[in-house]
Amino acid sequence: MKNKKNKTVRLFLLLFLASSFITPLAAQESKEGKFKPTDESLQQYKYPAWFRDAKFGIWAHWGPQAVPRQGDWYARNMYVQNGQSWETDAYKSHIKTYGHPSVSGFKDIIPLWKAEKWNPEELMKLYKKVGAKYFVSMGTHHDDFFLWNSKIHKWNSVNMGPKKDVVGLWQKAARNEGLRFGVSEHLAASYTWYQTAHSSDKTGDKAGVPYDGNDPQYEELYHGKAAADDTGWMTKNPVWQKEWFEEIKELVDMYKPDLLYSDCALPFGNEVGRGLIAHYYNDNMNKNKGKLEAVYTCKEPSKGRFAQDVERGVLDSISEFPWQTDTSIGDWFYRTGQKYKTSEEVIQMLVDIVSKNGNLLLNVVQTPEGDLEPDVLNVLDGIGSWIKVNGEAIYSTRPWKIYGEGPSTDKNQEKGQFGGLKDIRSYQSADIRFTTKDGVLYVFCMSTPTENVQIKALGKISKYTDHKISSISLLGSKEKIRWNQGENALTIDKPAVMPDFKVVVFAVQFKK
């Protein structure tokens, strides 16, 4: 009875605050700095050099949902009896392994996440060696379980599971290796995403028996029952929006990350979301004595207000504003028997993204215990070997006049899963990408040349050519490169010995 009474009082207070103070709160949080919760104010944003130069980050999309080894969205799908196979597989597996979700729910998975093989220091050394310039820790997924030492939400990794401040330990390891540090939040979508926990079986001997999400004592984890018309990716409930603001503000204030990622468009499309961004920018400027070093990324065109993020996809052209692709080596959470991307596929994706003014944020799939499988280590080793030789053509570069040429640049490219173009594609030896730095043009052959390389954009009569070429070298090789700049194309003779990579890079120097 006491818990129920406290819940009623808490709900009343939240409703009062939500109805009266959401907009003033957002405005108050940004009052002390230059940024206000408006698009016009956020367009004062300037992209920090560190993000533009970094190009490659690694992400730990990792938490208790890895425990069942069933992949992404387990905390939602384990409550789906009737649906598509990718949903119901989790439900069936949960019953078989843990019991019926009316009794054994996601709350009972959390204590099983021990992270006993997790060594953030050693992993961060590896990620630095691979070539990452920034690292992002998940803060909270849609499962509403926080990986930081929250003072306002008891369902967190210090109180439960590994009994460790996961965000704090990742941050310390990243700082020790000189990497920029970010956090991701997926909370805005959690309120509607988790509504499956409030349902029950439709058939069978448990038909009509409420799942554990209906138990009031677990409401802080599963949220309450949403209104019938509150079914979008982000809730329209002002009480929950206020809760999101306070909890993500706590994350920002405690860890002061260089990057904050939201797994949605600009949260809620109102002053609550803009207020959080303004507060984040202002707080970062206060931390850095007036210099803005913060990067906020969410999933809509930025118009200069932040960095647009494209999940499992890439933009189709050079963007005026720096942006980011987020994707994973495999599934988002660990899945038994999953297939991983190859190092060559990741490298091709990185090059394509960088040629278009973007960054790649790559999730490295960890086991529930916290270590990496041998297959994942092999992928990372391949990426690191390539970057060690060719990194100068990636880091601190900028797009050239065009991003590339060849078959992969036509107008009929396959679309990505969540917008943009597909991130993993088949490339031919005629596919070229460009980056530039300090007067050098880097030419990427996206697949190993089988004959002489033809580059139309560098022909003498090309509209993109305004300086004569003085020399060409092949990164990772001491071989003298032979070439001829004809009227219609630059021809680079196929080197006698090619580097041991699928993607090879030529550095083109111009006469001054």
Mean pLDDT calculated for residue range 138-147: 98
- Nearest partner of 192 among 245, 236, 140, 155, judged by Cα: 236
The confidence score (pLDDT) of residue 326 equals: 98
pTM of the model: 0.93
Rounded-to-integer distance, Cα 32 and Cα 190, Å:
30
pLDDT digits (tens, 9 = 90+) for 213-269: 999 999 999 999 999 999 999 999 999 999 999 999 999 999 999 999 999 999 999
What mean pLDDT value characterizes the chain? Answer: 94
The confidence score (pLDDT) of residue 7 equals: 47
Mean pLDDT calculated for residue range 197-218: 97
Structure tokens at 139: 């803060």
Rounded-to-integer distance, Cα 117 and Cα 341, Å:
24
Cβ neighbours of residue 385 under 8 Å, at least 6 residues apart? 343, 501
Q: Check if the beta carbon of residue 310 is closer than 8 Å to that of residue 416.
A: yes
The confidence score (pLDDT) of residue 466 equals: 85
The confidence score (pLDDT) of residue 424 equals: 87
The confidence score (pLDDT) of residue 25 equals: 52
pLDDT digits (tens, 9 = 90+) for 55-78: 999 999 999 999 999 999 999 999
> What's the start-to-end Cα distance of the chain, in Å?
82
- Counting residues of the chain whose pLDDT is more than 90, the rounded percentage is 89
pLDDT at 272 over 50: yes
Going 134 to 332 to 230 to 152, the CA torsion angle's sign is: negative
Instruction: Write the secondary structure of 162-222 as one string of H (helix), E (strand) and C (coil).
Output: CCCCHHHHHHHHHHHCCCEEEEEECHHHHHHHHHHHHCEECCCCCECCECHHHCHHHHHHH
Instruction: Write the secondary structure of 281-294 as one string of H (helix), E (strand) and C (coil).
Output: HHHHHHHCCCCCCC
pLDDT digits (tens, 9 = 90+) for 430-476: 999 999 999 999 999 999 999 999 999 999 999 999 889 999 999 99
Rounded-to-integer distance, Cα 66 and Cα 194, Å:
17
CB-side neighbour CA atoms (13 Å) of 256 = 11
Tokens 């992404």 sit at which residue?
72
pLDDT digits (tens, 9 = 90+) for 169-183: 999 999 999 999 999
Rounded-to-integer distance, Cα 406 and Cα 427, Å:
9
Structure tokens at 54: 């970094």
* Distance from the Cα of residue 208 to its chain's centroid: 38
The confidence score (pLDDT) of residue 411 equals: 79
> What are the structural domains of the chain?
2-393 (3.20.20.80), 404-510 (2.60.40.1180)
Tell me the three state secondary structure of residue 377. Answer: helix
Q: Is 331 left (phi over 0), alpha (psi -120 to 50) or beta?
A: beta
Rounded-to-integer distance, Cα 101 and Cα 196, Å:
11
Higher-confidence position of 8 and 123: 123
Rounded-to-integer distance, Cα 169 and Cα 119, Å:
9
The confidence score (pLDDT) of residue 404 equals: 98
Q: Give the chain's radius of gyration (CA, Å).
A: 25
pLDDT at 142 over 50: yes
C-alpha distance from residue 199 to each of 81, 139, 204, 226, 229 (Å): 10, 27, 14, 11, 16
The confidence score (pLDDT) of residue 6 equals: 46
* Distance from the Cα of residue 164 to its chain's centroid: 23
Structure tokens at 111: 């204590």
pLDDT at 284 over 80: yes
Q: Which amino acid makes up residue 1? A: M
Q: Check if the beta carbon of residue 26 is closer than 8 Å to that of residue 245.
A: yes
Query: How is the beta sheet containing 490-492 ordered, strand by strand?
Result: 453-455, 490-492, 483-485
**b/e burial code for range 335-363 (CB count within 10 A of at least 16 → b):** beebebbbbbbbbbbbbbbbbbbbbbbbb
Mean pLDDT calculated for residue range 382-402: 98
Backbone angles phi, psi at 79, to 5 degrees: -105, 15
pLDDT digits (tens, 9 = 90+) for 351-373: 999 999 999 999 999 999 999 99
Beta-strand relationship, 358-363 and 56-60: parallel
Rounded-to-integer distance, Cα 355 and Cα 457, Å:
15
- Nearest partner of 498 among 440, 452, 430, judged by Cα: 452
DSSP 107: G
Res. 5 pLDDT band, cuts 50 70 90: very low
Backbone angles phi, psi at 138, to 5 degrees: -65, 135
Q: Check if the beta carbon of residue 47 is closer than 8 Å to that of residue 307.
A: yes
H-assigned helices in 330-470: 343-354, 374-390
The confidence score (pLDDT) of residue 14 equals: 46
Beta-strand relationship, 307-311 and 323-328: parallel
Least confident of 96-100, 134-138, 425-429: 425-429
pLDDT at 18 over 50: no
